[in-house]
Amino acid sequence: MTIIINGKVSENAIPNQDSADNNTMADVLGNKTDTHDGDSVYALSEIQNDHVHKAAKVFPTLGAWVTVTGAAGAWTLGNYAEVAAANDITSDFDIHYIVVEDISATGVYELVLYAATTEIGRIRLVKSAAQDSVLSHPFQCAIQPANTQIQAKLASSSGGGDTVTISLEYHEY
């Protein structure tokens, strides 16, 4: 294809895969082989396609849930609980839901997720006296790099070392 760039004829207007050069309109629009690693419009559409159409996954899968314990004081975050160790999820991923399988006591809770020790989001949940079902809470975070450790901390309105058990629903890219 021949196009004119800055008054000069260019025979090769196809950018390199995942190019971030931004020198021409072709760089901005992208290459049809761009992946979600690029900065082009095509790469962004690849991210959206993966987000919508890749299979949902669960962590931990086919195993025990992760228990997260709050501190003794009300509205004080407890210690880190490792949800996914580094290298457990080996592709880039983002979390869509936090599934809360068990809550130890009635009250209001705040659960915080971390990529290693950097906060990536939080949810608030409530357990009433009659509540006995599994709850799936929507969660949004940036795409996390492959092999990222995920940890959680918990606080509750009553304190007293309350606990929740959780698992994650996520998508890989």
pLDDT of residue 128: 86
pLDDT of residue 133: 65
To the nearest 10°, the Cα dihedral for 159, 162, 165, 167? 10
Q: Which residue has the higher pLDDT, 132 or 72?
A: 72
Region 56-172: CATH code: 2.60.120.260
Query: Taking residues 136-148, what's their average pLDDT?
Result: 95
Q: Which residue has the higher pLDDT, 47 or 88?
A: 88
Domains of the chain by residue range: 3-53, 56-172
Burial class (CB within 10 angstroms; exposed 0-12, middle 13-18, buried 19+) of 12: exposed
Asked if residue 71 has pLDDT above 90, the reply is: yes
Structure-block tokens of residue 33: 């082989």
pLDDT of residue 59: 95
Q: What is the pLDDT of residues 118-139, one digit of tens each?
A: 999 999 999 988 766 678 999 9
* 97 within 8 A of 73, measured Cβ to Cβ: no
* Alpha-carbon dihedral sign for residues 159, 161, 163, 168: positive
Residue of 152, 158, 142, 103 lying closest to 125 (CA atoms) = 103
Q: What is the pLDDT of residues 152-161, one digit of tens each?
A: 999 999 989 9
* Angle at the Cα of 151 from the Cα atoms of 35 and 103, rounded to 5 degrees: 120
